[in-house]
Protein backbone atom coordinates (compact mmCIF):
# COMPACT_ATOMS: atom_id res chain seq x y z
CA UNK A 1 0.00 0.00 0.00
CA UNK A 2 3.04 2.24 -0.27
CA UNK A 3 1.66 3.99 -3.36
CA UNK A 4 -1.44 5.53 -1.76
CA UNK A 5 -1.43 9.28 -2.43
CA UNK A 6 -1.86 11.65 0.49
CA UNK A 7 -1.04 15.14 -0.77
CA UNK A 8 -4.22 16.89 -2.04
CA UNK A 9 -2.64 18.05 -5.30
CA UNK A 10 -1.24 14.58 -5.90
CA UNK A 11 -4.63 12.98 -5.18
CA UNK A 12 -6.28 15.15 -7.84
CA UNK A 13 -3.57 15.29 -10.48
CA UNK A 14 -1.63 12.04 -10.36
CA UNK A 15 -4.46 9.69 -11.37
CA UNK A 16 -5.45 12.15 -14.12
CA UNK A 17 -1.92 12.20 -15.49
CA UNK A 18 -1.78 8.42 -15.44
CA UNK A 19 -5.15 7.92 -17.11
CA UNK A 20 -4.51 10.66 -19.70
CA UNK A 21 -1.31 8.88 -20.69
CA UNK A 22 -2.93 5.44 -20.79
CA UNK A 23 -5.89 6.69 -22.83
CA UNK A 24 -3.56 8.60 -25.15
CA UNK A 25 -1.43 5.51 -25.83
CA UNK A 26 -4.57 3.58 -26.75
CA UNK A 27 -5.97 6.35 -28.98
CA UNK A 28 -2.63 7.08 -30.70
CA UNK A 29 -2.32 3.41 -31.62
CA UNK A 30 -5.84 3.37 -33.09
CA UNK A 31 -5.35 6.64 -34.99
CA UNK A 32 -2.23 5.20 -36.60
CA UNK A 33 -4.21 2.14 -37.73
CA UNK A 34 -6.38 4.60 -39.65
CA UNK A 35 -3.31 6.15 -41.34
CA UNK A 36 -3.65 9.24 -39.16
CA UNK A 37 -0.33 10.34 -37.64
CA UNK A 38 -0.57 10.88 -33.89
CA UNK A 39 1.50 11.70 -30.86
CA UNK A 40 0.96 12.55 -27.22
CA UNK A 41 2.49 15.51 -25.39
CA UNK A 42 1.98 16.01 -21.67
CA UNK A 43 1.85 19.80 -21.93
CA UNK A 44 0.74 22.48 -24.40
CA UNK A 45 4.28 23.76 -24.43
CA UNK A 46 5.64 20.44 -25.67
CA UNK A 47 2.80 20.17 -28.18
CA UNK A 48 3.53 23.63 -29.59
CA UNK A 49 7.19 22.73 -29.94
CA UNK A 50 6.25 19.60 -31.94
CA UNK A 51 3.71 21.45 -34.09
CA UNK A 52 6.27 24.15 -34.98
CA UNK A 53 8.46 21.46 -36.51
CA UNK A 54 5.59 20.23 -38.70
CA UNK A 55 5.00 23.61 -40.41
CA UNK A 56 7.46 24.46 -43.20
CA UNK A 57 8.83 27.99 -43.35
CA UNK A 58 7.01 30.11 -45.94
CA UNK A 59 3.86 28.00 -45.95
CA UNK A 60 0.36 29.44 -45.91
CA UNK A 61 -1.36 28.45 -42.67
CA UNK A 62 -5.10 28.58 -42.02
CA UNK A 63 -6.85 28.36 -38.66
CA UNK A 64 -10.00 26.37 -38.02
CA UNK A 65 -12.13 28.08 -35.37
CA UNK A 66 -10.55 26.72 -32.20
CA UNK A 67 -10.45 27.86 -28.60
CA UNK A 68 -7.76 25.21 -27.97
CA UNK A 69 -5.40 26.89 -30.45
CA UNK A 70 -5.88 30.26 -28.73
CA UNK A 71 -5.88 29.03 -25.12
CA UNK A 72 -2.76 26.87 -25.50
CA UNK A 73 -0.66 29.75 -26.86
CA UNK A 74 -0.29 28.06 -30.25
CA UNK A 75 -1.85 31.05 -32.01
CA UNK A 76 0.68 33.42 -30.43
CA UNK A 77 3.49 31.12 -31.55
CA UNK A 78 2.17 30.91 -35.11
CA UNK A 79 2.13 34.71 -35.22
CA UNK A 80 5.89 34.76 -34.61
CA UNK A 81 6.76 32.20 -37.29
CA UNK A 82 8.02 32.86 -40.82
CA UNK A 83 4.77 31.74 -42.45
CA UNK A 84 1.82 33.38 -44.14
CA UNK A 85 -0.76 33.08 -41.36
CA UNK A 86 -4.36 33.55 -42.43
CA UNK A 87 -5.15 35.14 -39.09
CA UNK A 88 -8.91 35.30 -38.65
CA UNK A 89 -8.40 36.48 -35.05
CA UNK A 90 -6.33 39.55 -35.96
CA UNK A 91 -7.45 42.63 -34.03
CA UNK A 92 -9.54 45.00 -36.11
CA UNK A 93 -10.24 42.46 -38.85
CA UNK A 94 -13.44 43.17 -40.81
CA UNK A 95 -16.18 40.68 -41.65
CA UNK A 96 -15.24 40.92 -45.34
CA UNK A 97 -11.62 40.13 -44.50
CA UNK A 98 -12.67 37.12 -42.41
CA UNK A 99 -14.81 35.90 -45.30
CA UNK A 100 -11.85 36.17 -47.68
CA UNK A 101 -9.56 34.38 -45.21
CA UNK A 102 -12.04 31.52 -44.83
CA UNK A 103 -12.08 31.05 -48.61
CA UNK A 104 -8.28 31.13 -48.84
CA UNK A 105 -8.06 28.66 -45.96
CA UNK A 106 -9.59 25.87 -47.99
CA UNK A 107 -6.51 25.83 -50.24
CA UNK A 108 -3.87 26.69 -47.62
CA UNK A 109 -0.73 24.55 -47.24
CA UNK A 110 -1.53 23.78 -43.60
CA UNK A 111 -4.72 23.88 -41.55
CA UNK A 112 -4.26 24.16 -37.77
CA UNK A 113 -7.35 23.33 -35.77
CA UNK A 114 -8.76 21.09 -33.05
CA UNK A 115 -11.33 18.31 -33.12
CA UNK A 116 -14.66 18.37 -31.32
CA UNK A 117 -13.96 14.86 -30.10
CA UNK A 118 -11.61 11.94 -30.71
CA UNK A 119 -12.92 8.48 -29.98
CA UNK A 120 -11.13 5.57 -28.35
CA UNK A 121 -11.19 3.87 -31.76
CA UNK A 122 -9.42 6.85 -33.34
CA UNK A 123 -12.31 8.52 -35.15
CA UNK A 124 -12.41 12.32 -35.36
CA UNK A 125 -15.87 13.78 -34.69
CA UNK A 126 -16.71 17.35 -35.67
CA UNK A 127 -19.63 19.66 -36.27
CA UNK A 128 -19.40 23.00 -38.03
CA UNK A 129 -21.58 26.03 -38.61
CA UNK A 130 -20.20 27.40 -41.90
CA UNK A 131 -18.47 24.25 -43.08
CA UNK A 132 -15.08 25.81 -43.86
CA UNK A 133 -13.34 24.04 -40.96
CA UNK A 134 -14.65 20.55 -41.73
CA UNK A 135 -14.18 21.15 -45.47
CA UNK A 136 -10.46 21.78 -44.91
CA UNK A 137 -10.17 18.69 -42.74
CA UNK A 138 -11.51 16.55 -45.58
CA UNK A 139 -9.85 18.08 -48.65
CA UNK A 140 -7.66 21.00 -49.68
CA UNK A 141 -4.82 21.80 -47.28
CA UNK A 142 -1.82 19.50 -47.78
CA UNK A 143 -1.49 19.06 -44.04
CA UNK A 144 -4.02 19.26 -41.21
CA UNK A 145 -2.81 19.48 -37.62
CA UNK A 146 -5.29 18.83 -34.82
CA UNK A 147 -4.35 19.99 -31.33
CA UNK A 148 -6.65 18.14 -28.95
CA UNK A 149 -6.81 18.30 -25.15
CA UNK A 150 -7.51 14.99 -23.43
CA UNK A 151 -10.85 16.40 -22.23
CA UNK A 152 -12.07 15.75 -25.79
CA UNK A 153 -11.25 12.05 -25.84
CA UNK A 154 -14.45 10.00 -25.65
CA UNK A 155 -15.46 6.35 -25.83
CA UNK A 156 -17.74 6.43 -28.88
CA UNK A 157 -18.94 8.57 -31.81
CA UNK A 158 -22.31 9.02 -30.07
CA UNK A 159 -20.56 10.27 -26.95
CA UNK A 160 -18.51 12.62 -29.13
CA UNK A 161 -21.62 14.07 -30.75
CA UNK A 162 -23.27 14.47 -27.37
CA UNK A 163 -20.16 16.19 -26.04
CA UNK A 164 -20.14 18.60 -28.98
CA UNK A 165 -23.86 19.41 -28.62
CA UNK A 166 -24.12 19.60 -24.84
CA UNK A 167 -20.69 20.78 -23.73
CA UNK A 168 -18.90 22.60 -26.55
CA UNK A 169 -21.82 24.19 -28.41
CA UNK A 170 -23.40 25.97 -25.41
CA UNK A 171 -20.05 27.49 -24.47
CA UNK A 172 -19.27 28.46 -28.07
CA UNK A 173 -22.70 30.07 -28.50
CA UNK A 174 -22.16 32.14 -25.35
CA UNK A 175 -18.62 33.05 -26.51
CA UNK A 176 -19.97 34.16 -29.89
CA UNK A 177 -23.06 35.87 -28.44
CA UNK A 178 -25.46 33.61 -30.34
CA UNK A 179 -28.93 32.97 -28.93
CA UNK A 180 -29.61 29.24 -29.30
CA UNK A 181 -31.48 26.70 -27.16
CA UNK A 182 -28.20 25.26 -25.86
CA UNK A 183 -26.96 28.71 -24.86
CA UNK A 184 -30.16 29.26 -22.88
CA UNK A 185 -30.26 25.93 -21.03
CA UNK A 186 -26.87 24.27 -21.49
CA UNK A 187 -28.45 21.42 -23.45
CA UNK A 188 -29.05 20.93 -27.16
CA UNK A 189 -32.63 21.13 -28.41
CA UNK A 190 -32.14 20.22 -32.04
CA UNK A 191 -35.82 20.37 -32.97
CA UNK A 192 -36.22 24.01 -31.97
CA UNK A 193 -32.84 25.27 -33.20
CA UNK A 194 -33.13 26.99 -36.54
CA UNK A 195 -30.90 28.90 -38.92
CA UNK A 196 -29.26 31.37 -38.96
CA UNK A 197 -28.33 31.14 -35.24
CA UNK A 198 -27.56 27.43 -35.27
CA UNK A 199 -23.83 26.65 -35.10
CA UNK A 200 -24.26 22.94 -35.89
CA UNK A 201 -24.91 22.58 -39.60
CA UNK A 202 -22.60 19.81 -40.77
CA UNK A 203 -21.46 16.65 -39.01
CA UNK A 204 -18.17 15.15 -40.21
CA UNK A 205 -16.70 11.92 -38.88
CA UNK A 206 -13.22 11.12 -40.15
CA UNK A 207 -12.75 7.37 -40.05
CA UNK A 208 -9.65 7.03 -42.18
CA UNK A 209 -7.07 8.97 -44.18
CA UNK A 210 -5.92 8.10 -47.66
CA UNK A 211 -3.02 10.57 -48.10
CA UNK A 212 -0.05 9.58 -45.95
CA UNK A 213 0.99 12.21 -43.37
CA UNK A 214 -1.84 14.57 -44.33
CA UNK A 215 -3.59 14.35 -40.94
CA UNK A 216 -1.76 14.61 -37.62
CA UNK A 217 -3.42 14.54 -34.21
CA UNK A 218 -1.43 16.00 -31.33
CA UNK A 219 -3.06 14.91 -28.08
CA UNK A 220 -2.25 17.08 -25.08
CA UNK A 221 -2.40 15.89 -21.46
CA UNK A 222 -4.39 18.92 -20.38
CA UNK A 223 -7.92 20.28 -20.63
CA UNK A 224 -7.99 22.53 -23.68
CA UNK A 225 -10.83 24.39 -25.34
CA UNK A 226 -14.45 23.36 -25.11
S1 LIG B 1 -28.27 22.27 -32.75
FE2 LIG B 1 -28.61 24.31 -31.80
S3 LIG B 1 -29.16 23.88 -29.68
FE4 LIG B 1 -28.17 22.06 -30.50
S5 LIG B 1 -26.03 22.27 -29.99
FE6 LIG B 1 -26.28 23.09 -32.07
S7 LIG B 1 -26.59 25.27 -31.77
FE8 LIG B 1 -26.94 24.31 -29.78
Q: Which atom of ligand 1 is nearest to the CA of 199?
A: 7
What is the distance between the alpha carbons of residues 169 and 153, in angstroms, rounded to a whole number? 16
CATH topology of domain 9-220: Rossmann fold (3.40.50)
Q: Taking phi first (over 0 means left), then psi (-120 to 50 degrees means alpha), and beta for anything else, what does residue 193 get?
A: beta
Q: Averaged over 166-172, what is the pLDDT?
A: 96
The number of angstroms, rounded, from the C-alpha of 45 to the middle of its chain's C-alpha atoms is 16
Best substitution site from 65, 160, 169 to test ligand 1's pocket, by max atoms within 8 Å of Cβ?
A: 169
Q: In this model, does residue 95 exceed pLDDT 60?
A: yes
What is the maximum alpha-carbon separation in the chain?
Answer: 63
pLDDT in tens, 136-167: 999 999 999 999 999 999 999 999 999 999 99
- Pocket of ligand 1 from Cβ distances under 6 Å: 165, 169, 173, 180-182, 188-190, 193, 198-200
What distance in angstroms lies between residue 187's CA and the mean position of ligand 1's atoms? Answer: 8
Pocket test for ligand 1, best of 117, 165, 174, 183 (most atoms within 8 A of CB): 165
How many beta carbons lie within 10 A of that of residue 16, not counting itself?
13
Ligand 1 pocket test: which of 181, 185, 191, 196 has the largest number of ligand atoms within 8 Å of its C-beta?
181
Distance 179 CA to ligand 1 centre (A): 10
Model confidence over 47-80: pLDDT tens digits? Answer: 999 999 999 999 999 999 899 999 999 999 999 9
Binning pLDDT at 50, 70 and 90, where does residue 203 land?
Answer: very high
Whether 96 has a pLDDT exceeding 80, the answer reads yes
Is the C-alpha dihedral spanning 40, 45, 59, 66 positive or negative? positive
CA of 176 to the centre of ligand 1 (A): 13
Per-residue pLDDT band for 85 (boundaries 50, 70, 90) equals: very high
Cα(37) to centroid(ligand 1), Å: 31
pTM for this structure? 0.93
CA of 194 to the centre of ligand 1 (A): 9
| Beta-bridge partners for 110 | 61, 143
Query: Is it true that the peptide bond before 100 is cis, omega within 30 degrees of 0?
Result: no
Q: Is 4's pLDDT higher than 80?
A: no
CA 197 to ligand 1: nearest atom: 7
Amino acid sequence: MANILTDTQEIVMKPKEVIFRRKAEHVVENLKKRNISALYCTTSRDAISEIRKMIPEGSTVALGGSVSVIQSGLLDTLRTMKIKLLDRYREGITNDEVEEILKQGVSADVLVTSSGAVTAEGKLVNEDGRGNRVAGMIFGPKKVIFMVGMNKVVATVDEGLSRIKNVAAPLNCIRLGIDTPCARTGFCDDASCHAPQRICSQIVIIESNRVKDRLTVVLVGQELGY
